[in-house]
Every structure is written in structure tokens, then in C-alpha cells.
Structure 1
Amino acid sequence: MGGRGAPLPRYVAAASLARLADGGGIIALILLVAAQDGPTPAAAARGGMLAACLTAPHLLGPLVARRVDVVADARQPIAAACILYALCFATAVLTFGLVPFPVSAALVALTGTCGPLLTGGLSSRLPGLVASGQRAQRRAQGWDVATYGLGGTVGPAAVAAVAASATPATAALCLAGAAAAAAGAVLMLPAAPAIPGSDPGQVPTARATIRLMLASPDLRRTLIFTMSVACSVASLPIAAVGTAARLGLEPAAAAALAAAYGLGNLLGSGAVMVFPLRGEPRRLMPSFAALIALGLAATAASPLLGLNIAAYSATGILNASFFAATLAARSENAPGQARGQVFIWVAALKITSGSIGTLLAGLLASMDPRIPLLAGAAAIAVLSVAAARQDRAGTAAPTASGHRPVTSRPGN
């Protein structure tokens, strides 16, 4: 298959639909449970369990990622994942309350296993769809960042709007429809160029891929910074609630802070589309991470709501740029035979780190909401300084293949 027209707009359409479905799933499930059980502690617990069932299976992503690197046409498993996501999510929604809760949880968990292919798996196909020059690749990565921002901000907002005007079940079914539409859009993409030597016997296993990533200085740095930043910024929604209380404001102020971060993320995504990042990703990542650390510290120190909103928005902008740098690092340093697995490994560990960050923030915020922000800022700052010293000392090694690839097309 494959339609006419420029591949990038078709990719953006497919990725936006897939990530709207993935990004809005949690709020849809929580609203679905609340609509049936009411605002009770038991409903909150059940909603949280379903949300965990949707996100936790992302950890299984590396176990299914090899399929993307083995098949001759990676569009097929990604489209199949979109269809399975739509079917399982729609079934879970339509049968919720009619079947035992463990059955609903199992359906949601099966939905969650498709998530890695809708995120990292789809991103791993982008380098082969655009020109091999650095500027073209970076601009495409900026568009990819925008689709993630769209899914993470517009997705939940759209679910809330549809749930308010209709029902939570209707909103959830709209997400299933978006995932199904994404499958068709994926199949309309051109097939990526074949990767030389990519027969199943030469594609590494999941365990071999993580060893390869840890052995490559550039991929190892990508993994470390991705996980540390994800863990740190995950504290922002938790800290927002505590910040509102600390400043003596209404709880709605916490929502304003979270919205400011989401808006900043979208603005940052637009910025990297218009002005693609320049320079080596291995140096861009520590630089943006250090600025994110300053943003986190500013959110902890700001005594006024307006300053907090500005700090949250700035941190969102910086995080979008940082994410674009990590996509560039994965694209330019992942070996062709394990490209999909590298993307999905990093995405899975990023989500895991974010979950850990949310948990730690909840525990630390009971003492002072500023503690998780300052702790995250300090951790990122230490890593950024260490990376800068390593670069200045000239000890940074090249990639595992012995050179730094400039282009990002599969096979390089």
C-alpha cells in the first residue's frame, strides 16, 4: 500500500491519531469508572488500577519490538497494533460494569501492550520517510514531538469535553475510533527502505539490544538523561497541588499550572518544527536537561502564582526541545537492525521512570511540595555537569560502530 503525496504529512496524521488515542486513555478510564461508581474512594482506586493496567504493559514493549525490525514491512505490525488497541479498548468500554472487574482490567492491559508500537514503534519509522539531511531529519523530529504533545494535552482535554457534553463511554469510544483510523493512516505511508542485512538471524534479541545500548556511549547517555528527566518532570502535576495549597490558592490553581506546562510543551513542539535543533544530540541533551533543572528549581522557589505559571510553561517548552534531542540521538545512533527496539526500549524505560517519579513525588510532597522539584533539579544538574566535564576532557567515545553517523536513514 501507500498513498500519494509527501510522506511527512501522512506520518503526522497517523502519529497524531495514534497518540491521541494513547494520550487520552487514562482520563477516559478514570471518568468511565467515576460515572458508574460515583466520586467514592473505591471508584478512585478502581480508576487508578485501570490506569495502571493501561500504562504498565509499556514495559513489555521491548519484548514485542523485535517484530518491527524483523518484518519486511513494519507498517503491518504497527497497523495491527492500532487495530488491536481499538478493539480491546472499545470492548473494555462497552462491557464495563457488565463483566467482572478483572475481565475489564485484562482487556485494558491487552490494550496497553499495543501502546509501545503506537509511540516508539511509529517514531522508529520516521527517519526512513524523509530526506537524509540533518535539517530535514530534525524538522521531521520536531513534527513528531508535536504529535506527542498533541496526544498528551489535546487528548485528555478532548476526552473531558466529549465526556461533559455526552458520556465518558462516548469519549472513550472516540479514542478507539482514532486508533482504528490511525491503522489506515499507517498503511497509507510508503514502505521504509529495506535495511541491509536485516534478516531475522541478524536482528538482535531484546536482551542483546539493551546490552548494545549500554555499550554505546551515545545511546547510554540518551537512556540516562531520558530516564532522569522523565522521573523529575513527573513530579510537576503532584507538586502543582501542593504549590496551590502552599500559596493559599484554590485547587483550580493546580489545574492552571498543569495547563501551563502542557501549553508550554505544545509551544516548544512548534518551535522545534519551525527552528530545527542544530548540533550534536549528545551535547544538546545535557544542555536542555540543565535548563529543565533550572525550570524545576524556579517552580519550587516562585512565591507568586504568575511566576509559577511562567516557570511551568518554560519547563514545558524546554522539555519539548529536550525530547526532540533524544529522538535525534536515537535516530542517529541506533543501528539499523535494532532501530525499532532502541526506540521502544527508551520509550518503555521513560514511562517507567515517569511512574517512579510520580510515586516518589507523592511520598515526598507530603512533607513539602518543593522537595521533589528540588531533588529532581539537583539530580539532573549533577548529570549535566558530569556530561559537560566528560565532553571537555575529550573522553566521550564514539558510537559502538566506531563513528558518529550524521544521517538517520535506516542502514546507516
Structure 2
Amino acid sequence: MRGFKRYLAAALAGRFASEGMGIALVLLALERTGSAANGAFVLTAWLAPHVLAAPLAGAAAARTPRPRLFHVGALVCFTLAVATLSVLVGRAPVPVVIAVAVAGGSCGPMVTGGLSSLVASLVPAGAGRDQAYAWDAATYNAAGVTAPAVVGLVASLGSAGPAMAVLACSGALAAVLAALLPYEDPRAGRRDAAPRPTAGGGFAALWRVRELRAISAATTLAFVGIGALSTTAVLLARSLGAPGAGGALMTAFAVGALSGSVLLARRRASGRADDPGLLARWALGGTGVALVAVAFAPTVPLAAAGFALAGVCDGPLLTATLRIRAEHAPDAVRAQVFTLGAGLKVTAAAAGAALVGLAAGRPPGMLVLGIAALQLAAVVVHRAAAGPARPAAAPLPAPAAVPPAPVAPRDAPQDAPAGP
């Protein structure tokens, strides 16, 4: 595992900065303008480019002869955007702030899926790589737990400006650590005449490779619900008589997801094998069932327990997704598949947040049931798109022994020459 520990540190630092941006931008706008709407607009500009920039970023990563420079450059641009927004939000003209947010958000896919695409070059195929993807998934969940908490704590002690500075420092640390990783030329091993990957290669792979098509369709549908979960948690807590407990419910979900990822990583360390497609369906189904129980929880503590259980089930889904992408993405477009998959999920989550805003007047329990239904529907979508399990290839029969040619006795007459 060449440099894998440094990779985990870089991934955690970069994703910490990414996960903290949502709450930090809203807090900063609220502090400086008195309205969270400005922060919401900037956050939308930050998230919107993900799905558009993902295939372009993946294609560039696959074509560049200097992958170190490309990945570090993306992290540096990401960090500069965070630092610039910490100064401009609430002070500069809105179009300028939006432009900076779009530029920084365009680097977002490289912080998520782009970094995950490096695991295959750092860890050899086999059980070790499966375990590596479980730890990589844990960095997403760890960032999801710690970043909002740290941002909220720093903002409460001082202001949201220093909280944004913390995120910028974390992004800078990720860039430094990424510069120390071993890289391989993504074009190595290809023939000179082989076609160079294009921005559409990732889309083609997601559509043509059924395992990729199945997991992409299922997770995109599921993340429409996950994107609605934060707002729904706030509404549910208020309906249970604890208006401020929405954050606690989401923290329980995030801690559960981190626990699920770590438990899976330890399971992989013990050498136990599992089918990632089946693992994805179990994760989606378990999350859906747990959320059904949440919808009928009579108290906040019971709802928190249900959120934690849903998180435990959801945690392994990312590990399974990363493994499927690594195992089935063509080498030439692997980076595109990772960045595009991440972009689709972010876009789906943004759509879910918008939808729950339109349905906020409905009973919170009904909204939770809707989110659970999306998780269960994703199980059906994945099963239908994946098709029947492919039978294991039968071992080739051993070659039949060829009897040696008969040798004529020395005193036997020689064959006559063949005629015309």
C-alpha cells in the first residue's frame, strides 16, 4: 500500500473542507447580511457545477501526463476559492461571489470521486483494495460528522469568518499531502494508437457496463432522499417537541454511517469476502427499513436511535459503490466514472433538498416515509438493472494427452514415398 496512509489523511482533510462549506456559507451570509438567502444562493452556485464539471475533470485527469500537478492544482484552486469566499461573502457584489463559488465548486468532483480514483493505483487488487475502499468511505463519513460540528463550534466562539479559515487550512493541508503521494501516468500501458479518453467516455461507461449502470441509477435515486433528510430531520424534531434537535438527529445518522464503514473495513481486514452489488442492496434496504421505524418514533431519543441505525446501514453503501466503480470501470475512464458518479449523487441530493422544501407543509412522518420509499425503490432499481448474477466461469478442461507417434522397428521396411 504505497502511500495509502498519506492518501487517507489527504482525503480526510479535503473532504472535511468540502463537507463544512454548506453550513459555513449559510452562517457567514447570515452573520454579514442578516439573511441566510444569500448564503443559500452561493451554496447552490458551489454545488451546481458538480455534475457538469465531473466528466470534464475526469477526462482531464485521465489524459494529463502529470497527474500530480493536476490533482494538487485542483485542490489548490478549491482551497483558494474557499479562502476567497471567506472574504467576499456579504461584502462583494453577488455576481462576483457567485463566479468564485462556481469556480471552486468545479473543483469539487476532484475532492470527492477524483481522489477516490487514486486508490486503485496505490493498493493492489484483491482483499487489500476492498479494505482500502472501506477506509476511503470512512473518510467521507468522518468528514460528515466532524466538519459541521467544528464549523458550528468555531462560529459560536467567534464568527463564521474564522470557521471558513479553518476549512481553507484543511484544504491547503490536503493539497500538501496530495503532493507527497506516489502517482502513475494514467496513460501508461496504453498503446500509442489507442483513442484518448473524452469527456463523454465516462457517460458511455456508466450506460454500457451494467454493474456501473445499476449502482449509478440506484444511488442517484437514493440520494434524492438523502438530500432531503437534513430538512426533514429538523421538521421531525420540531413535531416531536424539540425544535433544536434536528442537528442531533443528523449527527446520529453521520456517526452511524461512520461506524458502519469502520465495521466493514474491519470485516475486510479479516479476509471475509462479499459481493459489492449484494452489499449495496442490503445497505439500501436496511436504511429504508430503519427510516420506516423513524417515521413512527414517538420521541426524539427513539428517532435518534433510528437515525443511527439507518446510518449504520448507509455507511457500507459508499464502500460498495467505490468497489463496483473500481472493478468495472474501464482503465481509460476510471477517473471519469468516479467523478461523474460523485457529481450525480451531489446533484440528486440538491434536487431532494429542493423537493422537500416544496413539501415542507406535509407531516414530517410522511416525509420520512417518502425518503424510506426512495431507498427501498433503489433496491428494486439496482436488482433490475444489474440483472441475474453472472455464473462463475467454468475452469478450462485440461488438454488431452497426445500419444507419442509410433516408432517403426528398425527392421521394418520404410514407407514408400507419397505419390503426386
- Scaled to the shorter chain, the TM-score interval is 0.7 to 0.9
Residues 213 and 385 of structure 2 are in contact (CA less than 8 Å); yes or no, is this contact kept in structure 1?
Answer: no
For 1:352 and 1:22, the matched residues in 2 are separated by 15
Q: Structure 1 residues 350 and 300 mapped into 2: Cα distance closer, same or farther (>3 Å)?
A: same
- Partner of residue 334 from structure 1, selected from 324, 329, 333: 329
Which region of structure 1 is more displaced relative to structure 2, 363-372 or 209-218? 363-372
- Partner of residue 153 from structure 2, selected from 143, 152, 161: 161
Aligned to 1:409: none
Equivalences for 1:1-40 in 2 at 5 Å? Answer: 6-38=2-34
Aligned to 2:211: 218
Q: CA deviation at 1:207?
A: 2.2
Residues 222 and 378 of structure 2 are in contact (CA less than 8 Å); yes or no, is this contact kept in structure 1?
Answer: no
Question: Cα deviations across residues 333-352 of structure 1 (Å, max 9, x unaligned)?
Answer: 11100000000111000011
Residues 2 and 182 of structure 2 are in contact (CA less than 8 Å); yes or no, is this contact kept in structure 1?
Answer: no
Q: 1:27 is matched by which residue type in structure 2? A: I
Aligned to 1:299: 294
Equivalences for 1:239-258 in 2 at 5 Å? Answer: 239-247=232-240, 249-258=241-250
For 1:162 and 1:381, the matched residues in 2 are separated by 38
5+ unaligned residues in a row in structure 2: which ranges?
394-420
Aligned to 1:310: 305
Aligned to 1:287: 282
Question: Cα deviations across residues 355-375 of structure 1 (Å, max 9, x unaligned)?
Answer: 111222222331222233222
- Partner of residue 101 from structure 2, selected from 80, 102, 108: 108
SS in 2 for 1:234: helix
Aligned to 1:170: 162
- Partner of residue 123 from structure 2, selected from 126, 130, 136: 130
Equivalences for 1:33-52 in 2 at 5 Å? Answer: 33-38=29-34, 43-52=35-44
TM-score by length of 2: 0.86
- Partner of residue 366 from structure 1, selected from 343, 352, 361: 361
For 1:302 and 1:254, the matched residues in 2 are separated by 14
Q: 2:198 is matched by which residue type in structure 1? A: T
Residues 129 and 192 of structure 1 are in contact (CA less than 8 Å); yes or no, is this contact kept in structure 2?
Answer: no
Residues 241 and 254 of structure 1 are in contact (CA less than 8 Å); yes or no, is this contact kept in structure 2?
Answer: yes
- Partner of residue 198 from structure 2, selected from 194, 205, 229: 205
Question: Cα deviations across residues 270-324 of structure 1 (Å, max 9, x unaligned)?
Answer: 2122222732212221121111111221111222222211110011111111111
Residues 233 and 246 of structure 2 are in contact (CA less than 8 Å); yes or no, is this contact kept in structure 1?
Answer: yes
Q: 2:88 is matched by which residue type in structure 1? A: T
Aligned to 2:339: 344
Residues 230 and 357 of structure 1 are in contact (CA less than 8 Å); yes or no, is this contact kept in structure 2?
Answer: yes
TM-score by length of 1: 0.88
For 1:316 and 1:198, the matched residues in 2 are separated by 45
Question: Cα deviations across residues 158-178 of structure 1 (Å, max 9, x unaligned)?
Answer: 112222223211111221121
Residues 14 and 183 of structure 1 are in contact (CA less than 8 Å); yes or no, is this contact kept in structure 2?
Answer: yes
Q: CA deviation at 1:390?
A: 7.8
SS in 2 for 1:365: coil
Provide the alpha-carbon RMSD of the alignment.
2.3
SS in 1 for 2:359: helix
Confirm whether residue 384 of structure 1 aligns to residue 410 of structure 2.
no
Which region of structure 1 is more displaced relative to structure 2, 221-230 or 378-387? 378-387
Aligned to 1:262: 254
Q: 1:128 is matched by which residue type in structure 2? A: S
Which region of structure 1 is more displaced relative to structure 2, 372-381 or 337-346? 372-381
Confirm whether residue 238 of structure 1 aligns to residue 234 of structure 2.
no
Residues 224 and 348 of structure 2 are in contact (CA less than 8 Å); yes or no, is this contact kept in structure 1?
Answer: yes
Q: 2:255 is matched by which residue type in structure 1? A: L
Question: Cα deviations across residues 131-184 of structure 1 (Å, max 9, x unaligned)?
Answer: 322x21121111111111122221121112222223211111221121122111
Residues 67 and 185 of structure 2 are in contact (CA less than 8 Å); yes or no, is this contact kept in structure 1?
Answer: no
Q: Structure 1 residues 244 and 138 mapped into 2: Cα distance closer, same or farther (>3 Å)?
A: same
Q: CA deviation at 1:202?
A: 2.3
Q: Structure 1 residues 96 and 68 mapped into 2: Cα distance closer, same or farther (>3 Å)?
A: same
Residues 261 and 312 of structure 1 are in contact (CA less than 8 Å); yes or no, is this contact kept in structure 2?
Answer: yes
Q: CA deviation at 1:200?
A: 9.5
For 1:200 and 1:84, the matched residues in 2 are separated by 33
For 2:322 and 2:252, the matched residues in 1 are separated by 24
Q: CA deviation at 1:378?
A: 2.5
Q: 2:85 is matched by which residue type in structure 1? A: A
